[in-house]
Amino acid sequence: MPSTLNPKEATGNQSSWDTLLSDFPKGPLCKYRKKASFNWKEMAVFLDGKDTIQLKNRIFSALESDPVFARHPGEDLCREKYQELTFLRCKRLFEYDFLTQQEIIENPLKILNMLICIGMYDWSPCLQYFLHCGIFAGAILSASMRFSDFVKQVYSMEIFGCFALTELSHGTNVKGIRTTATFDHSTQEFIINTPDFEAAKFWVGNMGKHATHAVVYAQLYTPDGQCQGLHSFLVQIRDTKTLLPMPGVMVGDIGKKLGQNGLDNGFAMFHSVRIPKENILNIAGDVTAEGKYSSSIKQWRLLPYLAAAYALDYFSKSLFTNCVEFYAGLLTEQRSRRQAGMGREIHALSAASKPLSSWTAQQAAQECREACGGHGYLAMNRLGEIRNDNDPNCTYEGDNNVLLQQTSNYLMSWMNCVRDKAPFESPFGTANVLQDYHHILGWKFTAISVEDCMDSSVPLAAYKWLVCYLLRESDLKLSKEKQSGRSDFEAKNNCQVYYCRSLAIAFIEQTVLQRYHDYTHDPNIPSTLQPVLKNLSALYGLWSLSKHLAVLYQGGYASGEEAGRFIQDAILELCYRLKDDAVALVDVFAPPDFILNSPIGKASGELYKNMWAEILQGSKALNRPSWWAEFCINKPITGRLRSRL
């Protein structure tokens, strides 16, 4: 274990802590702070050490006192202004020069602490600074000492650097890099070339507006036409006096992202750009090799959400129809027991289906965004907008967890009937699973092969057991809490986690599955469509159920290694069977391209062409930044502001 991290430094005493760390302003949190079992200042000194706390204090107070870093409440900066401000802040970091070489050598952890402090303020200037001084300079320095003069220019900001590995269509998959560097023996130069736009360097931080030089990864070709593998090269991409592109270089900004919009991520294409042979840096052994995308994971990631979309869409429409019946009753002033029961049942169903569907949508959007890699993070593809627009569904009309409590209350309200074995039914039939409560609790998982599990009747049976089991457990837990003298409110609260909350989730999943199972197994469904619909139903059921596997084992419904493995293998097998239907299943409900408005999601599937076209249409994608003189003329004086610290 690293020695500097081991506890050994004495933590000092109250007065030494007070000189390092000041007290918090008085307020409503005071009373909670007093309850702590330990002194937070002692903990901070113990964890970080005096030295690091002083560094943090120095950085934080420098930023707070500097107008360039001022906060502007309610500001709605456009992206361009934000990029300009980020660059000014980055220059300022040169002038503060928070850590000397000596300090870094004595305690390298300080670099990490410094970056975290600046990042907590804003990650954009922090990354801009680190990409230039750390990654770019590091790549050059580690190549050869002959670049040391060049590195001096980095630290005086005579040049500005970026690290260009990723390409538009190949991400960071090293083998897929298609930029070429061909050695020309006659002139002793390398010729850097981008074969087509899909091989454009892409996502490169600092490249969008500022970088004058790039470390470019390319396949090296020798004059005999042999590829010698991936190497890196130092290429000038903009003029240092004007920030205009160098001849043969097309360079620009990739546009708005979901976050970190102060940082200028860019693209570049090289058209036979010649560089001296000295500018080769090294072979690519230092680049993380990356395997091919594992396709079985991709489908496993997204296909269950596709199945969920079908099942939940059907459920929402069926619930809407239930509501229509209920409101029709209201309008005709029905006072029947059925009318009152409908109200309660709809409330219980909607209180749990909102959490289920808003969380599922949130996870699906995030999963899609991650499955698209960096491109999912590009604002134009709208995966972020879709996620962010869905996000308030998780809290409005009541927090999801509070709503789930209302559904479990509804289910618990049937316990008297269940215990007394009195006959009952709910108007829409969703509570009727409890009619067989005592019988169902005796059920076991009985499938003896993967093939056995391929129909949604298997997860449906498991869900029925799960609902009854969790109802019994919640009821027992509540009695226990009440017996121990807790108030009604407190007792109910203590039953939420692992009991009532799980009960409400299991119940609504069971209900959604029951309705979708009935629908997909209806004999009137066209025989051309039924197989795929049944597969969707089975996949949705098994995938949802798999999140409850621990409870199935814990409560004795399942036992042995096989049960879980059957379920997992059935999920994979269903994903495999649905793979070829996936595009068509999306086609069925996809909105037109104009509505979707996402280059990566257009119906043609020409995602790179579409993205490329959209980027070039972006205003000012290729423009020199209006604040170019802030780089070309007003250079920062390194360390100028250190005396202020």
Site for a second copy in 254-293 (CB under 8 A): 255-260, 288, 290-293
For residues 207 and 266, is the Cβ–Cβ distance under 8 A?
Answer: yes
Binding residues among 572-611 for a second copy as defined by CB under 8 A: 572, 580-585, 587-589, 591-592, 594-597, 603-606
Q: Which is nearer to a second copy, 238 or 387 (CB)?
A: 387
What is the Cα–Cα distance from 305 to 296, expressed in whole angstroms? Answer: 15
Amino acid (one-letter) located at 379: A
Q: Which is nearer to a second copy, 6 or 186 (CB)?
A: 6
Q: Is 64 helix (H, G, I), strand (E, B) or coil?
A: helix
The yes or no reply on residue 565 touching a second copy (CB under 8 A) is yes
- Least distance from a second copy to the Cβ atom of residue 10, Å: 9
In angstroms, what is the C-alpha Rg of the chain?
31
Binding residues among 145-174 for a second copy as defined by CB under 8 A: 171-172
What is the Cα–Cα distance from 311 to 536, expressed in whole angstroms? Answer: 8
What is the Cα–Cα distance from 208 to 260, expressed in whole angstroms? Answer: 13
- List beta partners, residue 269: 250
Binding residues among 522-561 for a second copy as defined by CB under 8 A: 522, 524-526, 528-529, 531-532, 546, 549-556, 560-561
| Contact pattern from residue 9 through residue 48 relative to a second copy, giving x for each residue in contact according to CB under 8 A and a dash for the rest | --x------------xxxxxxx-xx-xxxxxx-xxx-xx-
The yes or no reply on residue 314 touching a second copy (CB under 8 A) is yes
The yes or no reply on residue 71 touching a second copy (CB under 8 A) is yes
Q: Which residue has the tokens 């409440």?
A: 73
The yes or no reply on residue 4 touching a second copy (CB under 8 A) is yes
- List beta partners, residue 8: none
What is the Cα–Cα distance from 100 to 130, expressed in whole angstroms? Answer: 15
Among 398, 424, 457, 482, binds a second copy (CB under 8 A): 398
What is the Cα–Cα distance from 447 to 424, expressed in whole angstroms? Answer: 31
- Least distance from a second copy to the Cβ atom of residue 334, Å: 15
Binding residues among 353-372 for a second copy as defined by CB under 8 A: 362, 366, 369-371
- Least distance from a second copy to the Cβ atom of residue 286, Å: 10
| Contact pattern from residue 210 through residue 229 relative to a second copy, giving x for each residue in contact according to CB under 8 A and a dash for the rest | --------------------
The yes or no reply on residue 401 touching a second copy (CB under 8 A) is yes
Among 50, 79, 344, 624, binds a second copy (CB under 8 A): 79
- Least distance from a second copy to the Cβ atom of residue 247, Å: 26
Q: Which is nearer to a second copy, 157 or 538 (CB)?
A: 538
- Least distance from a second copy to the Cβ atom of residue 188, Å: 29
Amino acid (one-letter) located at 460: L
| 3-class DSSP string for 408-456 | HHHHHCCHHHHHHCCCCCCCCCHHHHHHHHHHHCCCCCCCCCCHHHCCC
Q: Which residue has the tokens 């300009």?
A: 84
Q: Which is nearer to a second copy, 275 or 427 (CB)?
A: 427
The yes or no reply on residue 123 touching a second copy (CB under 8 A) is yes
List CB contacts of 5: < 8 A, sequence separation 6 or more.
Answer: none
The yes or no reply on residue 448 touching a second copy (CB under 8 A) is no
Whole-Å CA distances, 540 to 300, 527, 536, 606: 12, 21, 6, 30
Run of H or E residues at 65? helix 50-65
Run of H or E residues at 88? helix 79-96
The yes or no reply on residue 1 touching a second copy (CB under 8 A) is yes
Q: Which is nearer to a second copy, 124 or 193 (CB)?
A: 124
- Least distance from a second copy to the Cβ atom of residue 529, Å: 6
The yes or no reply on residue 432 touching a second copy (CB under 8 A) is no
- Least distance from a second copy to the Cβ atom of residue 431, Å: 15
List CB contacts of 297: < 8 A, sequence separation 6 or more.
Answer: none
In this chain, which stretch among 194-202, 211-219, 221-229, 398-406 interacts with a second copy, using CB under 8 A? 398-406
Among 518, 622, 624, 638, binds a second copy (CB under 8 A): 518
List CB contacts of 617: < 8 A, sequence separation 6 or more.
Answer: none
What length is written for the chain? 645
Query: Residues binding a second copy: what is the number (CB under 8 A)?
Result: 166
For residues 190 and 184, is the Cβ–Cβ distance under 8 A?
Answer: yes
The yes or no reply on residue 297 touching a second copy (CB under 8 A) is yes
The yes or no reply on residue 112 touching a second copy (CB under 8 A) is yes
Q: Is 218 helix (H, G, I), strand (E, B) or coil?
A: strand
- Least distance from a second copy to the Cβ atom of residue 45, Å: 10
Q: Which is nearer to a second copy, 191 or 252 (CB)?
A: 252
Among 617, 623, 626, 634, binds a second copy (CB under 8 A): 617
What is the Cα–Cα distance from 198 to 187, expressed in whole angstroms? Answer: 29
- Least distance from a second copy to the Cβ atom of residue 69, Å: 9
What is the Cα–Cα distance from 237 to 207, expressed in whole angstroms? Answer: 9
Q: Which is nearer to a second copy, 226 or 320 (CB)?
A: 320
In this chain, which stretch among 77-85, 155-163, 217-225, 626-634 interacts with a second copy, using CB under 8 A? 77-85
What is the Cα–Cα distance from 598 to 227, expressed in whole angstroms? Answer: 37
For residues 20 and 42, is the Cβ–Cβ distance under 8 A?
Answer: no
Whole-Å CA distances, 30 to 23, 34, 45: 11, 6, 21
- Least distance from a second copy to the Cβ atom of residue 277, Å: 25
Q: Would you call 338 exposed, middle or buried from its count of C-beta atoms within 10 A (0-12, 13-18, 19+)?
A: middle
What is the Cα–Cα distance from 540 to 609, expressed in whole angstroms? Answer: 34
| Contact pattern from residue 173 through residue 212 relative to a second copy, giving x for each residue in contact according to CB under 8 A and a dash for the rest | ------------------------------x---------
Q: Which is nearer to a second copy, 223 or 605 (CB)?
A: 605
Binding residues among 44-63 for a second copy as defined by CB under 8 A: 44, 46-47, 60, 63
- Least distance from a second copy to the Cβ atom of residue 370, Å: 5
